[in-house]
Amino acid sequence: MTDIKLKIFPWLLAGTLTLGVSLAHAADTIKVGVLHSLSGTMAISETTLKDTVLMLIDAQNKKGGLLGKKLEAVVVDPASNWPLFAEKARELLQKDKVAAVFGCWTSVSRKSVLPVFEELNGILFYPVQYEGEESSKNVFYTGAAPNQQAIPAVDYLMKDLEVKRWVLAGTDYVYPRTTNKILEAYLKAKGVKAEDILINYTPFGHSDWQSIVAEIKKFGSAGKKTAVVSTINGDANVPFYKELGNQGVSAKDIPVVAFSVGEEELSGIDTKPLVGHLAAWNYFMSVKDKANDAFIKDWHAFIKNDKRVTNDPMEAHYIGFNMWVKAVEKAKTTDSDKVIAAMIGIEAPNLTGGVAKMLPNHHITKPVYIGEIQADGQFDVVWKTKGLVEGDAWSDFLPGSKDIIADWADPKIKCGNYNTVAKTCSGQNYK
Amino acid sequence: MSELISELDAGGMHAPVEPVDASHGILLYLEGVSVTFDGFKAIDNLSLYVADGELRCVIGPNGAGKTTMMDIITGKTKPDAGRVFFGQTIDLLQLDEPAIARIGIGRKFQKPTVIEPLTVLENLELAMSGAKRLRGLLTTRLAGAERDRIAAVLERVGLTAQAGRLAGILAHGQKQWLEIGMLLMQEPRLLLVDEPVAGMTPAEMERTAELLKSLAGEHSVVVVEHDMGFVRSIADKVTVLHQGRVLAEGALEDLQADPRVIEVYLGDGHAAG
Amino acid sequence: MLTCPLVRAGFLTLVFAMALLAVPTPARAADDAVARALLAQLREADFSDKARLVEQLAALEHPRIATILKALADSRLYYQEAENRAVIGLDDAPTIAIEDAVGGAALGQAGKRDLEKITANNRLRNLIENRLASLGLASADPGQRRAAVQAFLKNPDPAGTERLRARLAVEPDAGIKALLALALALADLASPEAAARAQAATALGGRLQPELRGPLSRAAAEDPDPAVREAARTALTRTEFRLQLLGWAETLFFGLSLGSVLILAAIGLAVTFGVMGVINMAHGELMMLGAYTTWLTQQWLPVNWSLPVAVPLAFLVAALAGIAIERGVIRFLYGRPLETLLATFGVSLILQQAVRSIFSPLNRSVATPDWMSGTIALGPLEVTLNRLIIIGFCIAVFALLWLALQRTRLGLEVRAVTQNRAMAQAMGVRSARVDALTFGLGSGIAGVAGVALSQLTNVGPNLGQSYIVDSFMVVVFGGVGNLWGTLVAGLSLGVANKLLEPWSGAVLAKILVLVFLVLFIQKRPRGLFPQRGRAAEA
Amino acid sequence: MRVPSWLRSDRAGLALLAVLAALALVVPALNLLVAADHPLHLSAYTVTLLGKYLCYALLAVSVDLVWGYMGILSLGHAAFFALGGYCFGMYLMRQIGARGVYGDPVLPDFMVFLNWTELPWYWLGFDQFWFAALMVLAAPGLLAFVFGWFAFRSRVSGVYLSIITQALTYALMLAFFRNEMGFGGNNGLTDFKDALGFPLHADSTRIVLFLLSALALAGGYLACRWLVSTRLGRVLVAIRDAEPRARFLGYRVERVKTLVFAFSAMLAGLAGALYVPQVGIINPGEFAPLNSIEAVIWVAVGGRGTLVGAVVGAVLVNYAKTWLTGALPEVWLFALGGLFVAVTLLLPRGLVGLLRRRGATA
């Protein structure tokens, strides 16, 4: 039995050491971290984004790299496990010393890595539409804030479709909760009565929608035009739309506008019952634009499958990556502080013919499109905002945050959470 | 929680405080006991009395209800009807298995059930009466008196040489003896022994017979057995069970002449003898 | 009362076919030019202009109008900039066959990205549907006429009222007549005369069509005349009462439907776990295989035929996978249920990742056949066809399984091995073969359940995981080794869940059911219908 | 100090304690004393990672106690781990005080956000370290006690018990996902700042947490080792191998089971409480049934019924996970799944069993 000791002890110690010792390496490449789940429940959405970043890095290297060096992708798999996100973020920043990280999808994964990025002063590009109420020095939010997706969509329903009654249906987590809170406040401000708003939350992956669709049907038969604003997440959408179709609720009767259903999600859905339902995004694959056509072509070539679709978070990474490249070129270094400073004001073309600009609150300007789902799984744009909408980190429609602003450019503020009334800045971990 | 800890040692749900009262010479009473499984009457109005210090053999064909009877006595199965008393005063139907074990009824299973990863010594220590209080359990040592008791039982079942061996590597017969030894450690008034010699060599069988006979008097012993030769070698009184009832009772020689018994055994394909 | 899309689509096709036949050719050249001009405008117009243009198009006496409008509604109308003409796409692919919108001549193939789609929105579609439907009111086919009236009920259009009234006078079919009366009453609700409005409101009372409730409740709240408001309120109360009753029936149906899904998911497990005592944590993944088989079948066969083919195929695929698992892993672990549990859990992870690697982590789109879409009326209760079919399917699967276990040689052997393995072997039953086949049977049923699930939920690598805990709960609740128990347990859990849901919300309902189950198992460790006796104690 | 006899004979255990002691000396030295650019420097990443492994190892020890020695395959032990984590997470949340995003002095951010105006009663007291520390043990212990009391009293055992433990953790997961529960819903508890006034992101605090994890693992191991070498340990084995025998010997099996189950849950809770400040987040995903099953496989890999095996298994499997999810992300589930099958089929006694010449006297 003594041999166990002999066998295990050096083994463990050796493991410890190899784990910890980061090999010194020549700085001939700039490392870029990719922090997207490749397994687990979120793999379904995030794998595509990993490939997108790899494609962008590939393209940049073909253009000669950055600052005369090649870019090198460091891909890790946080496996849809939130503590693992933090661990992997630390690994990327501390062990691999990456210059920037492109990653995260869910809010909880972002919340999990946030302290790590702030502590180690890394840079994270977060490409997904989210609930707002956050602005970190170290994070650039290239997805939509609520005012870049939800509010314009509701405006469209209210004005163009004359919707009077509202069902706010969402999965029970922070993004739908915030979005619905903002929308509720917004609708009430527009004179919608409380009894004309129905709010419903369901768990992740909810699959039996019979009762809820029946309730929506009943709610919608009160004689006023009714619409569903859906923040239902991922997997729960398929059974939801199927049930809608089966119970005979068509887009003509009760349109559903979704904020989490894009081209990629539609590719896994039988779209027949969905035709005519709506989605609000800042990008659609169907938008006719030279940059978009080129992007789609590159994507199909890169992924070696011309049936693959493109979607909004991919565009967000496209914009974010190009902004980062420009900022590094401007700062002439990958040093975090300098790049973060250089980021604000950087402009990069988006894929729909406009130009996205990085704002002092670390959000960007975006156009908002409303698309109708087509039988081929694409969206037809039925409405778009006149110009670009500036992302607002802190919603004006929430009592807790209407006085709060984020401004990382103004030397007097330099804060993501500045209360304009109290003139203080709170909730910042690292100054 | 403290109540629970203290209760680890308490007699049971309705622990009897009085000791076993066998003043009428009868230790175990079963009266009018019936139990049904899915419509099948496993025990049907069975009445049986075991005297104090008696060695009783119970025989009967498969499905006669022998094991079920033991289940009822030891609290594993609750009957649909009938009374089961231990001595004059203790209603066994009110107690659960551990409580019944603690008032002095030990049971040996048909298949030898010893704790194989433990040594013979540890098996006996496990069975030792009086050690089942939590404080008693949270110790790693044996007191001198306990050691003596274990040594005595080891001697009695003839396993002294095997004390330090794992129970799992004992021979089949030795396992049977160890299990009987474990019953003895419980200091029971009544021993229920289910097929003690199944699979034993004749020599082992002989030793087992001696062991069981030596136990009678000091304890009451109920032996369920198929092997008629073995039954003949130990029993004073034999009960024949058939279809959940007592078919006949008496000395073995008388029973073997009983036409009903012969029919049951022949009809069931078993040879009596 | 069949309102499934199939009927509607057929109806529209018929309408434009009739239009083609009805109109003579001479005026065509002039009309062609007007139509082309309107279509050219349509391309540039915003949606309110488009509505006006559609009205103008609909007013044209042109044989292609119905086709064009239908194409617009279906988003198949494109503008080919290079040729400066409107075209209709005939199929749906990156490269599509097109025909001239106005002339109807086939124009070969065109790349989709070279065509500019003339978009429609929902209001426009409603308008088009109305315009097309009003043409169908005179159809010889009662189904068409009924659909036309129903279209009116959905989108009451004052312009069409007179046509309805005229039709009512000559309509022979009593059912359609009643529906016409209803439609007219609905139109009268907007009449300038208060008496007519009050009468209309009373006529609408107690009707369950959801389209009627809106206008009625509007009248009850907003009508300027108090008598009308009163009449509308009374009518509404009658409607509400009947709806209440209907609500209960509906909840029951939802419960049965959820229950049937639970049974389908659990019944294969009832065989492997209940009959064989094997804990198969990969059960959910076998369902997933069934669902993927459905998807694969749909790649080869038309959607409407795919399901009947998919059922036996899914059974086969899952059964083979099951037998492979049994032969490869489980047979070494008989009598060690906890180890079986761990090993099969490993198998489930491998299967999940295998599917992820082969089919990508993305969900696969499994289409619903037309005969499973839409609703069907059971008396006043409208139920969804797919749910109804799945309930029936569940009963059929259950009955077949029961028969298989009771009436076949395999069933007999299975029961023999279950009860006494050694004895069965002595009787010449090859228990290894029986084990493999039984496990295959249970797995095959899981595959078949997967076909049903593909019609309700996502077909993706995670499909199995979402059902595994539920299915174990059903089997344990029902009592292991008892198929009837599984049936009762599944149905009662389904109904309980649905009864709780409106009161507590979906999540809490599920938690409550789980907590109830945990408590129930404490109370009756062997389920609703326990196997009793000595065998069960062993 | 005299080494008691029950430990003296446990060579593997002594080896484990020696390794832990060595780690407790080497890791802080390499982290704090060696310059950051030196190749032997241990980064905070590695320290935290090792600390996490140690927490998992303690969880594995607690699983092994009930599975390896008492034969209860709990597929819900991660629930106790998560509960302990939540209890300590609640303390850490209260420590944030007014430094939250919305600056509310009492309410955590997510409550402000849900428009809650006052702290729910079950959050009271968690601003006190001693109370939170007590609850870390009490909450999982109590849940296990109540659950076990009902389950064991009605003789739910074997796979039935495994399945209802899984239902338990599944129900808890669903419950904690609900925002109305007041535990932060899907996002859980995060954005921790400090504990007992020590900032959590400081290297020194990390080292202390690592040392505490090592200490907890050593303590948990010793407690379990002592327990199984007492007579109670033999009763556990008797319950595992021949429950009716134990019962007919007069042991109140359900009470023994309940107490040991609750004790094991407390260990799991302690592991969870140490885990949370090191990884910086606790959310309902920790209740996922998969987590519990993974913990069981750590034990199986290392060798059930050996305690040391649990530690070895937990560290090895997690090390493999860290390595594989970095190097070959797609392969991870194949590897994990294959491990489950291979260990149960080929290595029923785990790695330690393979190393030992004869079976554990256990």
| Whether C178 contacts C171, CB under 8 Å | no
- Residue from A177, A246, A274 to probe the interface with C (highest C Cβ count within 10 Å): A246
Shortest Cα distance, chain D CAs vs residue A372, angstroms: 30
Contacts 24+ apart (CB under 8 A), B244-249: B244/B34, B244/B41, B244/B42, B244/B43, B244/B44, B244/B45, B244/B46, B244/B64, B244/B65, B244/B68, B245/B44, B245/B45, B245/B46, B245/B65, B246/B46, B246/B47, B246/B48, B247/B60
Amino acid letter, D233 = G
Where along chain D do its domains lie? 5-361
Per mean pLDDT, which of C147-161, C279-293, C350-364, C412-426 is the most reliable? Answer: C279-293
Each residue's pLDDT expressed in tens, for chain D with a length of 362 residues:
567 778 877 888 888 999 999 999 998 888 888 887 788 888 888 898 999 999 999 999 999 999 999 989 999 999 999 999 999 999 999 988 888 777 788 888 888 877 788 889 999 989 899 999 999 999 999 999 999 988 888 887 777 888 889 889 998 998 998 888 889 888 889 888 888 888 888 888 989 999 999 999 999 999 999 999 888 888 899 998 888 888 888 888 888 999 999 999 999 999 999 999 998 889 898 998 889 988 998 999 898 888 999 999 999 999 988 888 777 777 778 888 898 898 888 888 888 877 775 444 44
Tell me the residue range of the domain where C501 lies.
246-367+380-537
What string of H, E and C letters represents the secondary structure of chain A? Answer: CHHHHHHHHHHHHHHHHHHHCCCCCCCCEEEEEEECCCCCCCHHHHHHHHHHHHHHHHHHHHCCCECCEEEEEEEECCCCCHHHHHHHHHHHHHHCCCCEEEECCCHHHHHHHHHHHHHHCCCEEECCCCCCCCCCCCEEECCCCHHHCHHHHHHHHHHHCCCCEEEEEEECCHHHHHHHHHHHHHHHHCCCCHHHEEEEEECCCCCCCHHHHHHHHHHHCCCCCEEEEEECCHHHHHHHHHHHHHCCCCCCCCCEEECCCCHHHHCCCCCHHHCCCEEEECCCCCCCCHHHHHHHHHHHHHHCCCCCCCCHHHHHHHHHHHHHHHHHHHHCCCCHHHHHHHHCCCEEECCCCCEEEECCCCEEEECCEEEEECCCCCEEEEEECCCCEECCCCCCCCCCCCCEEEECCCCCCCEEEEECCCCEECCCCCC
Same domain? For C506 and C530 the reply is yes
Residue B200 CA to residue B197 CA, distance in Å, equals: 5
**Contact residues on chain B for D361, CB-CB shorter than 8 A:** 117-119, 166
Shortest Cα distance, chain C CAs vs residue D272, angstroms: 23
**Contact residues on chain C for B68, CB-CB shorter than 8 A:** 534
pLDDT (tens digit per residue) in A175-189: 888 899 899 999 999
**Contact residues on chain A for C363, CB-CB shorter than 8 A:** 44, 235, 238, 265, 267-269
Phi, psi dihedrals of residue B16, rounded to the nearest 5°: -75, 140
In 3D, which of A256, A254, A246, A318 has the Cα closest to residue A285? A318
| Whether A232 contacts A200, CB under 8 Å | no
| Distance in angstroms between the alpha carbons of the first and the last residue of chain D | 25
Q: Which two tokens stand for residue B128?
A: 């030792």
Residue B138 CA to residue B144 CA, distance in Å, equals: 17
Same domain? For C305 and C176 the reply is no
In terms of CA atoms, which chain A residue is nearest residue C221?
A223
Same domain? For C474 and C510 the reply is yes
The interface residues of chain D toward chain B in range 117-176, judged by CB-CB distance below 8 A, are 145
Pairing of strands A165-171, A404-407: unpaired
Residue C164 CA to residue C187 CA, distance in Å, equals: 10
In 3D, which of B52, B43, B53, B25 has the Cα closest to residue B82? B43
Same domain? For C41 and C161 the reply is no
In terms of CA atoms, which chain D residue is nearest residue A136?
D101
In terms of CA atoms, which chain D residue is nearest residue C341?
D159
pLDDT (tens digit per residue) in B199-236: 788 888 888 888 888 888 888 899 988 777 888 888 77
Inter-chain touch A276–C125, beta carbons under 8 Å: yes
**Contact residues on chain A for D285, CB-CB shorter than 8 A:** 81-82
Same domain? For C147 and C107 the reply is no
pLDDT (tens digit per residue) in C469-505: 888 888 888 887 778 889 999 999 999 988 888 788 7
The interface residues of chain D toward chain A in range 211-270, judged by CB-CB distance below 8 A, are none
Give the confidence band of C289 by pLDDT, cuts at 50, 70, 90: very high
Identify the H or E element spanning C66.
helix C65-73
**Contact residues on chain C for B67, CB-CB shorter than 8 A:** 534
Identify the H or E element spanning B33.
strand B26-37
Is the ipTM reported for this complex over the cut 0.95?
no
| Whether C283 contacts C468, CB under 8 Å | yes
| Distance in angstroms between the alpha carbons of the first and the last residue of chain A | 54
Q: Choose among C349, C350, C472: nearest Cβ to D163.
A: C472
> How high does pLDDT run on average in chain C?
80
Shortest Cα distance, chain D CAs vs residue C189, angstroms: 44
Same domain? For C146 and C114 the reply is no
Question: Number of C:D CB contacts under 8 A?
Answer: 118
What string of H, E and C letters represents the secondary structure of D228-289? Answer: HHCHHHHHHHHHHHCHHHHHHCCCCHHHHHHHHHHHHHHHHHHHHHHHHHHHCEECHHHHCH
Same domain? For C143 and C115 the reply is no
Q: Alpha carbon of B217 to those of A82, A206, B189, B214: distances in Å?
A: 70, 70, 10, 8
In 3D, which of A344, A369, A373 has the Cα closest to residue A356? A344
pLDDT at position A60? 94
pLDDT (tens digit per residue) in C217-259: 777 777 788 888 888 888 888 888 888 888 888 889 989 999 9
Report how far Cα D273 is from the mean position of its chain's Cα atoms: 8
**C208: which residues sit within 8 A by CB, 6+ positions away?**
C239, C242, C243, C246, C380
Task: Report if residue C237 sits inside a domain.
Answer: no
Give the confidence band of C29 by pLDDT, cuts at 50, 70, 90: low
Q: Does B38 touch chain C (CB under 8 A)?
A: yes
In terms of CA atoms, which chain C residue is nearest residue A212?
C502
SS3 label, residue C227: helix
Same domain? For C96 and C151 the reply is no
Residue A43 CA to residue A54 CA, distance in Å, equals: 16
Shortest Cα distance, chain A CAs vs residue C329, angstroms: 25
Task: Report if residue C331 sits inside a domain.
Answer: yes
Report how far Cα D56 is from the mean position of its chain's Cα atoms: 5
Identify the H or E element spanning D61.
helix D44-64
The interface residues of chain A toward chain D in range 139-168, judged by CB-CB distance below 8 A, are none
Amino acid letter, C464 = G
Report how far Cα A260 is from the mean position of its chain's Cα atoms: 10
Inter-chain touch C473–D167, beta carbons under 8 Å: yes
- Residue from D240, D341, D343 to probe the interface with C (highest C Cβ count within 10 Å): D341
| Whether A126 contacts A139, CB under 8 Å | yes
pTM: 0.85
Quote the number of domains for chain C.
Answer: 3
Same domain? For C210 and C256 the reply is no
In 3D, which of D191, D159, D140, D139 has the Cα closest to residue D67? D159
**Contact residues on chain A for C466, CB-CB shorter than 8 A:** 205, 207
Inter-chain touch C534–B38, beta carbons under 8 Å: no
Q: Which two tokens stand for residue D43?
A: 């980064």
Task: Report if residue C514 sits inside a domain.
Answer: yes
pLDDT (tens digit per residue) in A105-163: 988 899 889 989 988 999 999 999 998 888 899 999 999 998 999 999 999 999 888 89
Residue D97 CA to residue D104 CA, distance in Å, equals: 7
User: Neighbours of B (≥3 Cβ pairs closer than 8 A)?
Assistant: C, D
Q: What is the DSSP string of C386-449?
A: HHHHHHHHHHHHHHHHHHHHHHSHHHHHHHHHHH-HHHHHHTT--HHHHHHHHHHHHHHHHHHH
Task: Report if residue C254 sits inside a domain.
Answer: yes
pLDDT (tens digit per residue) in A13-51: 444 444 444 343 445 899 999 999 887 778 778 889 999
Question: Number of B:C CB contacts under 8 A?
Answer: 11
Chains B and A touch (3+ CB pairs under 8 A): no
Task: Report if residue C351 sits inside a domain.
Answer: yes
Q: Which domains, from first to last, does chain B contain?
A: 2-268 (3.40.50.300)
Q: Is the pLDDT of residue B93 over 50?
A: yes
Shortest Cα distance, chain C CAs vs residue D352, angstroms: 18
What string of H, E and C letters represents the secondary structure of A76-130? Answer: ECCCCCHHHHHHHHHHHHHHCCCCEEEECCCHHHHHHHHHHHHHHCCCEEECCCC
In terms of CA atoms, which chain A residue is nearest residue C253?
A210
DSSP B119: B
Q: Choose among D231, D258, D361: nearest Cβ to B136.
A: D231
Q: Choose among A9, A95, A115: nearest Cβ to D191.
A: A115
pLDDT (tens digit per residue) in B106-156: 888 877 788 888 888 888 888 876 656 666 677 777 777 888 888 988 988
Q: Choose among A81, A399, A426: nearest Cβ to D99.
A: A426
Same domain? For C53 and C146 the reply is no
Residue C142 sits at the vertex; the CA angle it makes with C139 and C143, to the nearest 5 degrees, is 100
| Whether C289 contacts C321, CB under 8 Å | yes
pLDDT at position C372? 83
Q: Does C357 touch chain D (CB under 8 A)?
A: yes
Q: Choose among D159, D175, D341: nearest Cβ to C279.
A: D159
* More confident: B183 or C523: B183
Domain boundary, last residue among C190, C224, C258: C224
